[in-house]
Structure formats: structure tokens, C-alpha cells
Chains A and B, each alone.
Chain A
Amino acid sequence: MLEIKNLHVSIDNKKILKGINLTIISGELHAIMGRNGSGKSTLSHVIAGKEGYEIEGEILFNGESLLGKSPEERALAGIFMSFQYPVVISGVNNTYFLKAALNAKLKANGQPELDAMDFLSLIKEKIKLVGMDESYLSRNVNDGFSGGEKKQNEILQLLTLEPTFAILDETDSGLDIDALKIIANGVNQYRNSERGILAITHYQRLLDYMKPDVVHAMIDGKIVKTGDMSLAKELEKKGYSWLID
């Protein structure tokens, strides 16, 4: 479903990604592990369509090139990114925002949009899955949310919008063990044979709960080793320096 071919990315002439090749098929969960500054988050944003990068190479989603498409076009094509640092949107109510996002998708698919009542009953079901109180629905998006609550809110969006491909950018960072379980549980509910997931992380612990099919180690803008869960365990134990030599 997602095919990345020889992807080179720079910002202000500084090379960040130096030839990434990655293929993820439906039903698979891939994890990319790497240290800070290895280019993991840049890869997420380049897939999601953030502007400001110089890009060479190819990103295909279900056979179509994503490059040149706007973030909203990519979202409507089925791509979702859980942000490492979800932003606060002043004055915009969480429910209103989620409804606008879901209705944008329904509209693009030629389906009828949900009215406020129908949406509310849907979102009240979804919010239970991520263990959040309903009061978060009437608050402004991420305004005053703790680090963990922001991540829960990202997973709530994932479960509401039901994209076909999800990028989880450091969704585990800053979470305590209880929050981590809730997040992993949410992701596992999302996961099925039709959907692909790319999880980006520093640590193995989120992967313990999510059991990736493939694990990649990323160093200095390149995927230097690919394996299974045992690679994650090895990276956790030995760090990354053994891969450089």
C-alpha cells in the first residue's frame, strides 16, 4: 500500500533523508527505530505532506504518487499521522474539529455528512475506546491537555477518521505505562488486515504491546538494518553504535 523508493529529503540544503526504501503492505505494522536526529520525524512529515522540504525519489500510496499532493488530499486518500507534538487550536472545540474532519472525509467519498446529533453519539462511543472523559469533547483542541491526553486525543482521531494508513510519530514519548497501554490498545483496535501502520519510536516498550511485523533501524537518514521484533530488542539492549561499524 505504501512504497517509498530512493527518497532523498533536505531542508535548506541540509540532507536529512539519504535514500530511503520502504514497502508496507496492507495488514502490516512496521516500526522504525532510531535516535534523535536520525530523520524519523522528517520521514513522517514528508509522507503526510508538510511543506518546506526539497524532495527527490518517490512515495507511492496504492500505486499513486503522493508527492505534489496537499496534506488534505493525502488525508482524504487515507493517510493519517499521529503527531509527536499535537498542536493547541485556540477557540476551536474538539468535537467541532473532529466533526469537520470526518465530514470532509465523508464528503470526499460521496457519503452523506453527519449532523451534530449523529456525530455526538459516534464520538461518545469512540472516546470510550481511548479511556478519555467526555468532558474533553467540549474543550478546545488540546488546550490544557497533558502530554498523555494529547496522544490519547490523536488516537481518538485515528479511531474516528478510520484512515487506511496510519503513521504514529513517537506516539509513545512522554507516556507513563498506563497511558502507553491505553494508546497501544487503541492502535490494536484500529489494526486490521486492510490497514497499514508505520510506528516511529525511540523505544521498544510500545512495540511490546503492538507487536510489529517488521522493524527497521534508522541512522543518519538511512535504513541500515531491517528485521523482526528481535531487532527491536537488540537495539534496546545494545543501542545503535554497533550498526555504524
Chain B
Amino acid sequence: MEYFKSQLDSLNNQWTHEPEKMMHLRNSALEQFLQMGLPNKHWEDWQFTDFSPFDKTKFRISSADDVKDIDKYHTQSFTDSFSIIILNGHYQPQLSHVPNGVTIRTLFDVFIKDEKVGLSYSEENPFIALNTSLMNCGLVVDVSDGIQIDKPIHYQFISTGIKDNIMNHPRLLIRLGENSSTEIIEHYKGESTSLYWNNCVTVCELGKNGELHHTRIQEDTGYHTGNMEYHLQNDARLNTLFFNSGTELYRGDVNINFNGQNASAELNGLSLLNNNQHMDMRIIVDHAYPHCTSNQLFKYILDNKSTGVFNGRVIVQKDSQKTDSSQSNKNLLLSKSSSMNSNPQLEIYADDVRCSHGSTTGQLDEEVLYYLRSRGIDAVMAQQLMVEGFAGELLVNIKNEKTITYLSNKLTSWLKSLENG
């Protein structure tokens, strides 16, 4: 754990222009992190994941030297979009552009102006405290009131071409004004040969009657810890998909906070796991206001010796009448040695609500496989059809069609990679 301290020292030495209160925040967050330590199997909500790899590899925080000339190809979007580009943890304003009515500023800029900006960290999640301490790529995206953006904003966080074990602690704050609507694709990708780690915090604040379509595509090849926090005012509508593939070790925390009435959150997740990969998601939906809706559908597809964890909790507070909430976790085991740990929970303190939850884990239905094969479709293709069918309902809810195509192709090539061993 000592290496985190030395990394903060090096950050403080590099970034001497930071205001003192920023340094103070970093130091106290680190203290909080060290006090908590990495989660272990005695921590109830973390018990199914081994976090010791984060201490075994001594990651170094990425520096300005890590931004190399990069092939433009890597920064191209798969869709017609506005873009925000980050290379090895460094924001590239010259490659980024956003529409009128949207501003991007670094957290540093916002901070020195003494604007109020939420940088709190919980005492329950050490990774958020660590992110606050070592934050090296902070961006604030503000969407003005009443703005409707017709193209998605594609945020690309690209990790590439570094030989050291680097880590990044990006913080992304998205503030959506009243009556505005936007689609954001938050995309992590990388093809580094050395192990890297991205420890991300994304906070989305949806103003009254705001609408956010948020697709988070996480295909880092290293380690990834992600904290996604949403705050919804009256009548706000949130539609998300969390797509995870490729990473060795993943922990994702999603927190939904209703801060007003009549708001709705559609939460979807698709995780593809192979080899020894491990993915762990915890979803907490806090219905603190009445008349809100939340629907969750999280699916995992696991092959080889991979392991998955789904831990979901819906809390309906005492006065949150007319809450309408569903929570479903469905998992497909493609091999006998893969395994899934699913734990959907409901805590209801109000009486006039409609809530459901459920979880299923199983293998491909042999009868269906036989039916398809009896029509001349070979076993590999039949399995592919069935898995695509299983995952398909998650993709159709995405607003942008090119994103659907991109993820469908990802799924198909992932399935092909299973065949080839």
C-alpha cells in the first residue's frame, strides 16, 4: 500500500501549481483510503472479489511523458459524434469538440475559480477515496438548460503503447441542465501489452426533466474499477447500458439517487467473460422520493474459468410511495468451470409500491440447440445464435444505431474468439 503514498508525493511534486486546498483534499483522501485499505473477504459487499492484485503490482501514475504520437485511427469514433479524447490519462483538447451549449473544463479550472463542485468521497468505497487522492484527469462537462443534442458525445479513454504498469484515476462530472437531453458514450479501450489500471469515477447530475442516454463501454485489457453515480431531479430520465468485455479484473459500482419525483432510471448491463476474467458489479438504487421508476436487467455470459458477481440492492424509503421497481439478473454459463454469484436484494420501507426482483443462472438449453441443429445450422452457429439472442434484448434499447452495431459486432467477434480456443 505504500506505493500509493509515493505516487501522491510525485503527483504533488509535478503539479505544484495546484491550490493548497486541492493538495489538502488529496492528502486527506489518501489518508481515508489507507485507513480503509483494500477490501477483503470480510467486507460484505466486496467479499467475492480478490483485490490483492491492486497491491501486488506497483502501478505508477501516468505522466506527461506517456502521451505519445498516436495513430489517428485509434481516436476515430464508430459513429458520427462529438468527441472527448483522453490518451493515457491526458485530456486532448485539440482532438475534442463538443456542440454549442456544452462546455468542457478541467476540474482544475473549475476548482481554482472556487466554483462549487462535488468531489466528495464516501467512507465505504476505498476506490473513490483513492481516485480523489490521485485524480489525474478531471473533466467537467456542462450541458446548458434546454439543449437537445442530436449526436452522441463520444468520450474515449484510450490506453496504449506504454511499457510500464501505469494507472489513471479519471474523474468525469457530467451536469445536465433542466429540459436538456443528450447521449454520452463513455468508452474505455486499450491494447497495451503491459498491465495497466484505470480507477474511474463518473458522476452524472440530471436536472429537472433532463434526459441522459449513457452507454458505458468498458473494454480495457488491464484492471478496471469504475464508480458510476447518478443524481436525478424531478422528471429526469436516465437510460444506461454498462458493457464490459476484455478486462482481467473489474469492479463496477453503480449508485442511483433519486433527488426528486417522477424520475426514471433504466439500467442495463452486459458482461462478457472468458479465461480467468473476473467481473463484479454492485448496483444500488435508492428510491428516496415517491413516484419514481427503476428497471434493471443485467446479464453475464461466462466461458472457461471466468467468474462473475452481481450484487444489487434496491432501497425504497419510507415515504417513497408509488415506487415502481424491477431488478433482474440473468446469466449464461458456457462452460462447466465458470461460475456466477448473484445476489439481488430488495429493502422496502413503503407500503404502496410495486417491486420485483429475480435471478437465473443456467447453461444453453440443449433442446433449443438440438432444434437449431435439426434445421441444418451447425453447433457453433447454433450456439452463436442463442447467445446473440440472449444478449440482444439489452442492445435494442440503445438510442444510437451505430453503437448497437458496434456492440453487436463486439459480441459476435467475442463469440468467435471462444471457438478458436
Name the segment of B22-30, B195-203, B379-387 touching the other chain: B379-387
Which of B374, B390, B392 is most buried by chain A, counting CB atoms within 10 A of its CB? B374
Name the segment of B115-123, B219-227, B230-238, B363-371 touching the other chain: B363-371
Q: Is B388 a contact of A92 with CB atoms below 8 Å?
A: yes
B38 within 8 Å of A by Cβ? no
Choose from B374, B386, B389, B393 the contact partner of A81 (Cβ within 8 Å).
Answer: B374
B72 within 8 Å of A by Cβ? no
Question: In the complex where A97-B385, A104-B381 touch, is A71 in contact with B373 (Cβ < 8 A)?
Answer: yes
Q: Is A76 a contact of B367 with CB atoms below 8 Å?
A: no
Question: Residue of A at shortest CB range from B376?
Answer: A75
Number of A-B contacts (CB under 8 A): 78
Cα A104 to Cα B377 with chains together (Å): 6
B319 within 8 Å of A by Cβ? no
Cα A140 to Cα B390 with chains together (Å): 11
Name the segment of A5-13, A56-64, A82-90, A220-228 touching the other chain: A82-90
Question: In the complex where A89-B368, A91-B391, A104-B378 touch, is A70 in contact with B385 (Cβ < 8 A)?
Answer: no
Could you mark each residue 103-114 of chain A with 1 if its beta carbon is under 8 Å from any beta carbon of chain B, else 0?
A: 011001000000
Which residues of chain A come closer than 8 Å to B393, judged between CB atoms?
91
A101 within 8 Å of B by Cβ? yes
Q: Is B389 a contact of A89 with CB atoms below 8 Å?
A: yes
Among residues 138 to 173 in chain A, which have CB atoms less than 8 Å away from a CB atom of chain B? 140, 157, 161
Question: Residue of B at shortest CB range from A51?
Answer: B370
A22 within 8 Å of B by Cβ? no
* Size of interface on A: residues with Cβ below 8 Å to B: 30
Choose from B365, B370, B375, B389 the contact partner of A101 (Cβ within 8 Å).
Answer: B375
Which residues of chain B come closer than 8 Å to A3, judged between CB atoms?
none
Q: Is A70 a contact of B390 with CB atoms below 8 Å?
A: no
Give the interface residue-count category, chain B: 20 to 34
B346 within 8 Å of A by Cβ? no
Q: Is A104 a contact of B392 with CB atoms below 8 Å?
A: no
Which residues of chain B come closer than 8 Å to A101, judged between CB atoms?
372, 375-377
A31 within 8 Å of B by Cβ? no
Chain B min CB distance to A132 (Å): 18
Choose from A51, A72, A92 the contact partner of B376 (Cβ within 8 Å).
Answer: A72
A-B contact pairs, 28 of them (CB 8 A): A49-B373, A50-B374, A70-B373, A70-B378, A71-B370, A71-B374, A72-B373, A72-B377, A72-B378, A72-B379, A72-B382, A75-B373, A81-B374, A83-B371, A87-B367, A87-B371, A89-B389, A90-B390, A91-B388, A92-B385, A92-B388, A92-B389, A100-B377, A100-B381, A101-B376, A101-B377, A104-B376, A105-B376
